[in-house]
Structure 1
């Protein structure tokens, strides 16, 4: 053999060895998960410190390592700002070798981070934002929408209220992507059931005074005042509506996105009878009760559906890494698409090519004070909404990826 042939042969062998190493085990010596959330703002009670605890629990339950290497956790506060979230995500991916980002409550944040991460071939598992555009017009090969979306939320709540006489609807809407998407989806359900939308008004995120918006809604003649917002905005709007006697005068409130933490903040005296749709309630099954008690012991509060979703999504990701034998995004995404997800949060869940994870949703009712047997005994599950009814069908999706 001549010298040039030996050199080429050694180079080829080195490349093949390097490729084998890249496909076998974590690419940088560890697997790192990043929880990007609202730690101090309007959505902190929904998916803030609790979501970090949930991710820690998932890592702990998985065993703390995968493919023989440690699992690391990063967390940061996006401050409800898409530019801040994008800056953090860019640093995490480019400098800190974060392999998957979970959380991202706030749709503007979720869409921005999903777009940036996808350009960098990094998986995002959105558990907090609601906009269905995450899996529709702005879907991504690497973006997964896990807990709920604005298509699923109205299916139970709006249907129940229209069928019980709530034909005329007025919306108080959070003035950004999530709120507008939720209003659009809810209005579609209302109209399909023979109802009508008699008006709407937009309110800035983080509004403390809803009096002018509630006055417009009250004078509209609507049967139902729909709150297309979330977190502290929903809590403040419901409290002020009760102070103004709106419910006592016969109009109904519809919280289109309500969390357990909201009910706790409102108290049963104020929230009793409120119906809403959720992906999770801690007291639904033996498995959900067991995990939720562990979470309560660590956090001091019962989990929201987003907290539960962060745990489930993180655990599913780690299982996919293990099955793929690598943290390389394409291989892990393929495993996520093939697996069935079964835990206390979801039964027979599967992630579709557009990134949507359809699963059963639940219509719940807030208990009266006399019905409650404990500080967190707040809800009653009224009915189950099957996954194929709750979420948009794959064949009806507008995700561009599905046409490829």
Structure 2
């Protein structure tokens, strides 16, 4: 890029703020990186975002979905590639209501990410005239979800909503299947799922209606090239986490190419308002006034057997402009 080799230097933030800041400090001070990219945990993303601005480094968030990153805690140096929780919830909630009704029981991880999902899903449910008939908070990293799911069963909801992710969500879905809640006509779903959740389950237990960030059934030329490239190099179909890493990295590199420099201010300017191929059917662009990637949000129904590429039946592709909200609904002031 610009006649210089591009190098990736990796660090593990362990979903811990102190660990993340130490890692980011080393990357900037010792490794002298031009850009920071990554993080999954919302608290970590906020901390690294503030550090990046202090150190005059662009930070591309690829995993966290909390609204504050492009809301009250936004800043000039941070761009968010993920759809935020409100975007995801507004897309998926009508489809969960259609499948299971609007009386829900919520199981939420005791993290800023879980709470963001709870807030977004509750607001979207109430807009559909629904009610939360019960709610439980679980510790981050929990492995036994029997007790909260039994409490959910006793509340007799139409659906259990899992405001969880990663291995917490995998363990909760295993328990949902083991307790046979589907036989009690209690559905399951949530703001976000994906291939990376289904694979550890062996798919047969991966039930419900979920928001999806990306899916290998997206049939655009850019998406097909990306899928084939991953298959050729790694011998597996990409997940949405593969998608995030690839597509976000490409936008940083393309912004450098357009700017003709790695200077932070110039690259930020090259990203703001830029429309690009987000490997989806609809528009992808970074809003200049809050740095949110506005993009399609998919809704999928999980299946236990392969449906071509991927294990979700795509129920809807919701345009980002329909769920991203406007400046009057946002607290971001860059």
TM-score category (smaller protein):
over 0.9
Q: Which runs of 5+ in 1 are unaligned?
A: 1-65
Change (3 A) 1:299 1:83: farther
Aligned to 2:332: 399
State TM-score, norm by structure 2.
0.94
2:302 to 339, 342, 366: 366
Q: 1:388 aligns with which of 301, 316, 321?
A: 321
TM-score in terms of structure 1 length: 0.78
**Runs (5+) with no aligned partner, structure 2:** none
Q: Within 2, Cα distance between the matches of 1:259 and 1:102?
A: 21
Q: Is the 8 A contact 1:92 1:98 kept in 2?
A: yes
Range that drifts further, 340-349 or 187-196: 340-349
Name which of structure 1's ranges 350-359 and 180-189 shifts more when overlaid on structure 2. 350-359
Corresponding position: 1:99 with 2:34:
yes
1:205 pairs with 2:140:
yes
Residue 62 of structure 1 corresponds to none
Cα distance change, pair 292–226 in 1 and its aligned pair in 2 (3 A): same
Partner Cα separation in structure 2 for residue 347 and residue 158 of structure 1: 20
Contact kept? 1:309, 1:345, Cα under 8 Å:
no
The answer as to 2:229 corresponding to 1:276 is no
Matched with 2:224 is: 289
Q: Provide the rounded CA distance (Å) in 2 between the counterparts of 1:82 and 1:138.
A: 16
Cα distance in 1 for partners of 2:259, 2:22 equals 29
Count of equivalent residues: 332
Which of residues 296, 312, 318 is equivalent to 2:247?
A: 312
Q: Does 1:158 align with 2:93?
A: yes
Equivalent residues of 1:174, 1:228 under 8 A apart: yes
Instruction: Name 1:298's counterpart in structure 2.
Output: 233
Aligned residue for 1:113? 48
Aligned-pair CA distance for 1:303: 1.9
Q: Which runs of 4+ in 1 moved over 6 A?
A: none
Larger CA deviation: 303-312 vs 174-183: 303-312
The answer to whether the Cα contact below 8 Å between 1:231 and 1:259 also exists between their aligned partners in 2 is no
Answer yes or no: is 1:249 the counterpart of 2:184.
Answer: yes
Partner Cα separation in structure 1 for residue 281 and residue 75 of structure 2: 23
SS in 1 for 2:124: helix
Separation in structure 2 between the aligned mates of residue 373 and residue 214 of structure 1, nearest angstrom: 29
**Counterpart in 1 of 2:291?**
355
Matches within 5 A, 1:125-144: 125-144=60-79
C-alpha distance after superposition, 1:15-42 (max 9, x if no partner) = xxxxxxxxxxxxxxxxxxxxxxxxxxxx
SS of corresponding position for 2:316:
strand
Assess if the C-alpha contact under 8 Å between 2:141 and 2:167 holds in 1: yes
Partner of 1:80: 15
Q: Does 1:196 align with 2:118?
A: no
Secondary structure at 1:296's aligned position in 2?
Answer: helix
Q: Decide which moves more: 160-169 or 357-366.
A: 160-169
